[in-house]
Amino acid sequence: MNRLVEKATLAKLQKLGAICAGLQTSEDYPMTRLTTLKSRCADRQAATPFALHVATLAAAEATRHARPRHRKLSAWRQHNAPMVKAVGGLERDVKRSTASKKLALSEALASVQAINQAYQPSRWGQGRIIKNRPALIVENRVRGVVRDG
């Protein structure tokens, strides 16, 4: 039985490796091809560290780039601080999850959500205005951990 599980896991990891190589060469992938990735995140033990990794990359991207010209320095700092706090909360949750850490993570989630809280009416209802893409990525990763916890 273990051998079958190992073969199945190995096959999925090989598929993910091929997808990563394709993405680096600008290959296009429909969402249905990414179900392999989704299946790896069905297990909370695997999903939480993955969420932390993606959130860390997004927060690092936000802090690594220079402040956009259209954004004031104070606003730029106000966007980065909640992301850093949320990533720190995820790190603590990955090490050892507790109810108090989940509560703190929920509060960090609310702070990150506030970054992109503007909405605009459209023909199909309210549309969310995304001012900070890395903040949206961190928000989604934290929401997944809070919801599944």
For residue range 54-85, list pLDDT tens digits in order. Answer: 899 889 888 777 777 777 777 777 888 999 99
Least confident of 35-39, 113-117, 125-129, 133-137: 35-39
**Is 0.75 topped by the overall pTM?**
no
pLDDT value of position 1: 43
- Which H or E run includes 119? strand 119-122
- Which whole number is the average pLDDT over 101-129? 92
Sign of CA dihedral 129, 131, 132, 135: negative
Task: State the first-to-last Cα distance of the chain, in angstroms, to the nearest integer.
Answer: 29
Answer whether 51's CB lies under 8 Å from 74's CB. no
- Given a cut of 60, is residue 148 above it in pLDDT? yes
Reduce the DSSP state of residue 44 to 3 states and report it: helix
Average pLDDT over residues 75-98: 89
| 3 vs 102, residue with greater confidence | 102
Instruction: Residue 24: count other Cβ atoms within 10 Å of its Cβ.
Output: 8
